[in-house]
Chain A
């Protein structure tokens, strides 16, 4: 608190989110990796995922819940050298 702040003002609450490839995505209780992929429109077979730098296999996505501030990365195939 700083001098002059209204101690009785309601606290500002930032909506909880998870970070998906660097962007905020709305969080809700029970949301899973599979839910996020579905909401993004990702082809489940065409992407690979990791949460907080830990690999999440395709078969485990539906059973992997996310929590506020978790970081999900979604990778896809590209050409390469």
Chain B
């Protein structure tokens, strides 16, 4: 039986997102699990305090929603754990669509939080930066707390901040790819140039080590779905990611040593060779 991760022994520092204090830096998606029961176990095991959800057109004829059981289970788990729901605008291709979907999400999930997705390419699911910034500005004016899913482009990120976003969610790699951080230099640059901004690495992580790496870069959190949902044992993988996220953050806060090409002896045995005869 997988149990919820206990952060009390070695907890990274708490953080805030739109004024909300969070202790866990692992945000988790709710799609693609083998069953609602496994979804509930995985979320509990993850210790996540933020869980993403979506919206879909109702089936014709008043048929019940496809995910009714999973959503009911999810709401129950969140009520127990205190986790917040973060609805997304997945499937949107324009700012206009995203703004409309966000308004519906706010009503359905009773939250001003919105993970803003506006996709510009079908193969990579890369965000459309122009529509994204447009939608972010509009939604901010409507009182939303926008979590924009974006690339690691520094200038686009600045535009999103100027549009009113207090959080950025740059990708590690394309959604569902599991590639891990494909451009570490870009994420390092982004972190260095926007030192005070809350940033969550979102999408493309496939292994706990990927999450730890992203956290070691100084990112405030990671959001992922597929790597847990599609694992052989989702609850155990959720726990693995939770440990990795916490470890990466602890390592970042502890201060990583600077890498160098040449060796530096760690044992203080002096510079003289040891003569054994």
Contact = CB atoms under 8 A, between A and B. Distances in A.
The SS class assigned to the B binding surface is mixed
A55 B138 CA distance: 14
A50 B109 CA distance: 16
A79 B226 contact: no
Interface in A38-71: 39-42, 46-50, 53-55, 57-58
A78 B104 contact: no
A79 B54 contact: yes
Contacts of B105: 48
Interface residues of A, number: 27
A75 to B, nearest CB: 5
B29 A78 contact: no
Specify which of A42, A75, A76, A79 lies most central, judged by the most chain B CB atoms within 10 Å of its CB. Answer: A79
A49 B19 CA distance: 30
B60 A78 contact: no
Interface string B64-80: 01111011001000000
Interface of A: 20-23, 39-42, 46-50, 53-55, 57-58, 73-81
20 contacts: A47-B108, A48-B103, A48-B105, A48-B108, A53-B96, A53-B100, A55-B100, A74-B57, A74-B58, A75-B55, A75-B58, A76-B55, A76-B108, A77-B53, A77-B67, A77-B109, A78-B70, A79-B29, A81-B32, A81-B90
